[in-house]
Copies of this chain bind each other. A is one copy, B any other.
């Protein structure tokens, strides 16, 4: 089944690591936006620096399969996260109410 999905990835950003975290995200965006099924992405930054998730990525993909294939290629190509203490918690979503 091929139906569009939304990746939401809330990032916990250690103090003083925001610029590194954004640069890390940009490298992964540059890779992912070349992959089949990529539709769009948007990195959200909290207005307050003490938010639990200072960065949240929201991206649109053509299908669940397309996202998982791209993510596996990305991990193989870019390796583990080099920003100490930066952690994400990505999951795929669909809108159920508006």
Contacts and interface: CB of A to CB of B under 8 A. Distances in A.
Nearest to A46: B91
Interface in A18-70: 22, 25-26, 29, 40-48, 51-53, 56, 58, 64
A6 B44 contact: yes
Interface residues of A, number: 32
A92 B48 contact: yes
A21 B93 CA distance: 16
Nearest to A54: B91
A67 to B, nearest CB: 10
B93 A46 contact: yes
Nearest to A44: B93
